Amino acid sequence: MKKLLLLFAVALVSSGAFAQRPSRYQGEFNMAYAIGVGNLGLDRLNVETVHGVRFSPYLMAGVGLGIHMYTWQGMRSTLVPIFVDMKGYFMRRRTSPYLGIDLGYGIGTGVDRGVGGLYVSPTFGVSCGLGGNAAFILGIAFQSQQLLVNSVSVSFNAVAVKAAVTF
């Protein structure tokens, strides 16, 4: 019983350490241009929105939805990725570098309806506070969109330059 009370007391005291800044909503709107790399590298224009929780000055997690428009030899294709977004900020300052990861599934639309696959995008960038909860983010990302077409898995890879505003 003493161990249980001691455990409860430690948990109660340590919970106050995280109460200094409560979690809050964080939204993000970003645009990117990605240059295809590799054998099946296709250029694409990306528009995404992410909504989540800023758990601390160092950690944000949310869910995102995007529209990725591919072009190849005059043809156009659109995929809609649905993903989990996580960012870790290195410093508790107005300007801070960060690492992020998007992990989800891209769904084909239009002529690509029914085609889809794993979507992964690690990002390194810098967040610059604009005042209040707003910030401007600039980042470099590697994007990999896998598709399963006629039982064959294909990866479309690209390096993207992302610009975002958080609110």
Instruction: Choose between 5 and 85: higher pLDDT.
Output: 85
Whether the CA torsion 73, 75, 78, 79 is positive or negative: it is negative
pLDDT at residue 50 greater than cutoff 70: yes
Look at the chain and count its residues: 167
Cβ atoms of 160 and 141 within 8 Å: the answer is: yes
The string of pLDDT tens digits covering residues 57-75 is 999 999 999 999 988 777 7
User: Residue 22 corresponds to which amino acid?
Assistant: P
Question: Which CATH number is correct for 23-166, 2.40.160.20, 3.40.50.720, 3.40.1350.10, 3.30.1330.40?
Answer: 2.40.160.20
Residue ranges covered by each domain of the chain: 23-166
Q: What pTM does this model have?
A: 0.81
What would the mean pLDDT of 91-114 be, rounded to a whole number? 89
Q: Angle 88-93-95 (CA atoms, 0-180°, nearest 5)? A: 80
pLDDT single digits (tens) 6-43: 544 555 444 444 445 678 999 999 999 999 998 877 89
